[in-house]
């Protein structure tokens, strides 16, 4: 007769082949297919319990086959609140039940949890915020290029026809005065530009719109479209005002480029100032001066400004000396107490102008950044409440923020168009966003998680939440007990926890060496040579496909890793499915466990020792103390046999049994596969010695399997709640 050890090794030397042999059984294959095809249809605990094939399959997978009859008991298990220490399942000693409950997404009401929808995940939100911050600079730079063109060309324009026939000048001029150049008639605009504003019948006045009157006043064209001899289309003042208006009208008044131009314009205007009233009565100069000194232009009245600028700084009771910012403002000018300037003394010297410009840029930027931070804080807070496209469109602040981030002008876009963009399926070449042929719209659509129905969906993630938690747990148990190891492990786990949610492809993952090192350690590859190419093959494999890379070799760790991640065959992270009774990784785990249970069962029909050895090999890494062994009859049988302890020890106190086991073995060794194999070699040898007369045992001792009779739910609860320590 073949020894127990050799029989055991026949199964474990190539587990993939052993699994394949098990699956070759038509009945096993049928049950496997049925479970895979139907678990996704379950919407409640009722559905699950009513489908006997699904329910029985899952119960067997988790070693609970003997409890299949106890549906009322199992309902309580599945409907338990896993976060509540006082819930039904958390009170049970046998950890198989909580493991079973965690494998499904049932709520305390028996429904399938709907899952967490998210309109925008953290990485896309941060990208949007970054783009919003950048767009101020980016758009300002683009407008600055138009300003440069305008300044270079407007001086050579001598007729209205020349202005209208230059598309860039025409567009620049109209936008400056708030007129949409795409809808404006060139003929009408020419008549406006040549209007006599003193004539009520002129085109500028007849249109009865102040924008057109301001446009006409902004240029120096005669009624025939020419300009006075020796002049150009605009005076220096008109050109400066047009440019200032353009920055504001295009929403770029807060850009660095606008700030630089305003400083230039300020210096030019200050050259002509002869008294304090020139500053006080000019809104542009007043606003610039207040900002440069760190004051709010809106709150600084002309009267206060005049009093500050004419203060006697040698008088401690003067208004300028009552506030640091007032004194800074007064010191930047050279006005006398009566508001005049001494002969030959400018309102501001070159040095004062330079210092003032520095103060303006600094305070101006601080104010803009502060406003931007407030807008961003609001965006992040409000986005957490968005559940649909309609929610986003209904909030003007959110809508404007999102569109501006992607270089779209909210005033020029229709809400219905943006709604279609956000509902677009970018994987469909014929979707609305793709057919627009503008990368801004596709980028906007890609930044949000809306479905074609407009509702928020699950996020795109490299790992779902509990798979990530399990990976971190796997990593943690590999750490040494030294404080330095634990501290380093905590740091790496924190990094992984945050970073894995930002990864959207296998390529991104492989570029992050810390993440790669973490995964290798977590899944037992730290000491093995495993290339990036192999990792790519693992992570892009379909664990459900028997022909995929992870199902071909003997290394079961490959399949464990593939099941823990959410990448498609193309290497891209996939969207988390919502409203399913089981997540992808739990479905894989359930099916793997079913096959393993079946394989062990088949092995046990020939030799119960092989079944015990296979079971111990599977459970070894989960043993955390002698109490873990004492709580599991199959594990205890293996340990008692391997340590040559008498069965009578089971009659002793639990603590006495634990001490007896602790003296003879270190459970930490069971984290090392090599030591587990050595332990099982000893077990199988002693098992054969103890069972010379029989090759198999008809009674299954695995997991305390019931041999007959039906136990009431109340008694089951009482038994399972018996207090043992783990």
703 close to 633: Cβ distance less than 8 angstroms = yes
Specify the CATH number for the domain of residue 473.
Answer: 1.10.3700.10
| 693 and 605, same domain (yes or no) | yes
Residue at which a domain ends, from 542, 557, 575? 575
DSSP of 528-560, one letter per residue? S---HHHHHHHHT--TT-TTSGGGTSS-HHHHH
Could you give the 3-state DSSP secondary structure of residue 101? helix
Instruction: Say how far apart CA 610 and CA 616 lie, in whole Å.
Output: 10
Does 590 lie in the same domain as 563?
no
Rounded-to-integer distance, Cα 56 and Cα 61, Å: 9
Which of 77, 124, 220, 42 shows the shortest CA–CA distance to 443? 124
Nearest to 668 by CA among 609, 704, 624, 716: 624
Residues 593 and 486 in one domain: no
Pick from 97, 122, 206: nearest CA to 717: 97
Closest CA to 422 of 438, 402, 401, 445: 445
Q: Which among 525, 600, 438, 597 is positioned nearest to 62, based on CA atoms?
A: 597
CA dist 352 → 260, 362, 492 (Å): 16, 15, 53
Q: What is the pLDDT of residues 236-249, one digit of tens each?
A: 999 999 999 999 99
Is residue 55 a part of any domain in this protein? yes
> d(Cα 313, Cα 307) in Å, to the nearest integer?
12
Q: Between β-strands 460-461 and 574-575, what pairing exists: parallel, antiparallel or unpaired?
A: antiparallel
pLDDT value, residue 555: 64
Same-domain status, 567 and 609: no
Angle value at C-alpha 345, between 340 and 351, nearest 5 degrees: 120
Helix, strand, coil percentages, rounded to 5, for the chain: 60, 5, 35
Of 700, 605, 119, 112, which is closest to residue 388 (Cα–Cα)?
119
Q: Does the residue 201 lie in any domain?
A: no
State the maximum Cα–Cα separation within the chain, in Å, rounded to a whole number: 125
- Domains in the chain, number: 2
Q: What is the DSSP string of 7-72?
A: HHHHHHTTHHHHHHHHHTSHHHHHHHHHHHHHGGG--BHHHHHH-HHHHHHHHHHTT-GGGTT-HH
Go through 43-64 and write b for each residue having 16 or more CB atoms within 10 A of its CB, e for each that does not: ebbebbbebeebbebbbbbbbb
What does 558-597 look like in DSSP terms, one character per residue? Answer: HHHHHHH--B-TTSBBEEPP-S-SS-HHHHHHHHHHHHHH
Instruction: Identify whether residues 571 and 597 lie together within a single domain.
Output: no
Residue 645 domain boundaries? 4-114+584-720
- My answer on whether 710 and 617 are in the same domain is yes
Helix (H, G, I), strand (E, B) or coil at 455: strand
Q: By three-state DSSP, how is residue 267 classified?
A: helix
Is 527 within the bounds of a domain? yes
Give the end of a domain, one of 519, 544, 575. 575
If asked whether residues 570 and 596 sit together in one domain, one would say: no
**One domain for residues 54 and 94:** yes
The count of other CB atoms within 10 Å of the CB of residue 355 is 16
| 553 and 589 inside one domain | no
Q: Which residues contact 101 (CB under 8 A, 6 or more apart)?
A: 77, 78, 80, 82, 89
User: Which three-class secondary structure state does DSSP give residue 388?
Assistant: strand
Same domain? For 589 and 639 the reply is: yes
CA–CA gap between residue 288 and residue 329 (Å, rounded)? 11
Instruction: Give the span between the Cα atoms of 525 and 514, in whole angstroms.
Output: 14
CA atoms within 13 A of residue 480's CA, in its CB half-sphere: 5
Return the beta strands (E) in 415-536 as ranges. Answer: 460-461
**Residue 451, in any domain of the structure:** no
On whether residue 411 sits in a domain, the answer given is: no
Domain assignment present for residue 45? The answer is yes
Residues 690 and 620 in one domain: yes
Tell me whether residue 267 is in a domain.
Answer: no
Enter the DSSP assignment of 460. E
Two tokens, residue 386? 């968005």
In a domain, 119, yes or no: no
Q: Same domain for 514 and 533?
A: yes
Give residue for tokens 């319990």: 49
Angle (CA) 719 721 725, round 5°: 115
Final residue before a domain boundary, out of 557, 575, 593:
575
State which residues of the chain have pLDDT below 70.
1, 553-555, 693-726
Contacts of 264 (CB under 8 A, 6+ apart): none
């Amino acid at each position: 007769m073949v020894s127990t050890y050799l029989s055991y090794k026949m199964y474990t030397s190539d587990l993939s082949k052993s699994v394949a042999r098990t699956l070759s059984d038509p009945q096993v294959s049928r049950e496997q297919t049925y479970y895979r095809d139907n678990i996704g249809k379950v919407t409640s605990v009722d559905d699950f319990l009513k489908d006997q094939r699904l329910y029985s399959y899952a119960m067997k997978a988790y070693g609970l086959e003997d409890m299949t009859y106890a549906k009322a008991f199992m309902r309580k298990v599945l409907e338990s609140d896993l976060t509540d220490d006082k819930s039904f399942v958390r009170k049970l000693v046998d950890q198989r039940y909580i493991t079973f409950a965690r494998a499904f997404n049932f709520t305390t009401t028996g429904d399938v949890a709907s899952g967490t929808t998210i309109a925008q995940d953290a990485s896309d939100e941060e990208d949007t915020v970054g783009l919003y911050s950048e767009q101020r600079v980016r758009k300002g730079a683009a407008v600055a290029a138009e300003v440069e063109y305008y300044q270079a060309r407007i001086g050579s324009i001598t007729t209205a026809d020349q202005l209208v026939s230059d598309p860039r000048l025409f567009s620049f001029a109209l936008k400056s005065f708030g007129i949409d150049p795409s809808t404006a008639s060139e003929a009408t605009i020419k008549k406006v530009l040549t209007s006599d504003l003193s004539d009520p019948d002129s085109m500028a006045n007849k249109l009865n719109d102040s924008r057109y009157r301001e446009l006409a006043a902004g240029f120096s064209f005669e009624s025939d479209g020419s300009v006075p001899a020796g002049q150009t289309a605009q005076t220096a003042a008109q050109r400066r005002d047009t440019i200032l208006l353009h920055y504001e009208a295009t929403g770029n008044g807060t850009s660095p480029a606008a700030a630089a131009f305003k400083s230039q314009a300020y210096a030019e205007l200050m050259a002509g100032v002869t008294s304090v009233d020139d500053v006080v009565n000019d809104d542009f100069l007043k606003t610039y001066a207040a900002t440069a000194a760190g004051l709010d232009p809106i709150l600084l009245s002309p009267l206060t400004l005049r009093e500050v600028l004419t203060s006697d700084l040698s008088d401690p009771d003067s208004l300028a000396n009552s506030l640091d910012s007032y004194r800074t403002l007064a010191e930047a000018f050279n006005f006398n107490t009566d508001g005049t300037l001494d002969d030959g003394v400018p309102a501001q010297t070159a040095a004062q102008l330079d210092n003032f410009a520095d103060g303006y840029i600094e305070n101006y930027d601080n104010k803009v950044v502060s406003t931007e931070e407030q807008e961003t804080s609001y965006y992040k807070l409000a986005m957490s409440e968005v559940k649909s496209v309609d929610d986003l469109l209904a909030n003007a602040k959110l809508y404007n923020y999102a569109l501006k981030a992607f270089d779209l002008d909210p005033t020029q876009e229709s809400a219905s168009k943006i709604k279609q963009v956000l509902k677009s399926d970018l994987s469909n070449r014929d979707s609305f966003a793709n057919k627009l042929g503008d990368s801004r719209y596709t980028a906007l659509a890609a930044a949000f998680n809306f479905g074609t129905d407009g509702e928020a969906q699950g996020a795109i993630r490299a790992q779902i939440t509990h798979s990530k938690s399990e990976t971190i747990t796997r990593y943690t148990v590999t750490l040494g007990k030294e404080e330095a190891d634990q501290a380093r492990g905590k740091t790496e786990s924190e990094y992984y926890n945050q970073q894995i949610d930002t990864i959207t492809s296998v390529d991104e993952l492989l570029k992050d060496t810390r993440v790669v090192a973490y995964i290798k350690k977590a899944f037992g590859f730290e000491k093995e040579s495993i290339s990036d190419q192999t990792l790519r093959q693992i992570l892009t494999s379909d664990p459900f496909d028997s022909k995929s890379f992870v199902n071909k070799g003997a290394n079961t760790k490959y399949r464990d890793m593939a099941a823990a991640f959410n990448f498609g065959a193309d290497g891209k992270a996939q969207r988390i499915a919502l409203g399913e009774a089981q997540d992808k990784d739990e479905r894989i785990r359930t099916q793997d466990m079913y096959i393993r249970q079946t394989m062990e069962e088949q092995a046990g029909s020939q030799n119960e020792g092989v079944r015990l050895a296979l079971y111990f090999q599977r459970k070894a890494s989960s043993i955390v103390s002698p109490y873990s062994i004492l709580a599991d009859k199959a594990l205890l049988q293996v340990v008692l046999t391997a340590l040559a302890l008498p069965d009578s020890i089971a009659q002793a106190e639990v603590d006495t049994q634990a001490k007896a086991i602790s003296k003879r073995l270190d459970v930490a060794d069971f984290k090392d596969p090599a030591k587990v194999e050595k332990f099982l070699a000893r077990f199988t040898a002693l098992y054969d010695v103890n069972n010379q007369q029989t090759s198999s045992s008809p009674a299954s001792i695995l997991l305390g399997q019931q041999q007959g009779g039906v136990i009431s739910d109340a008694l089951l609860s009482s038994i399972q709640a018996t207090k043992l320590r783990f």
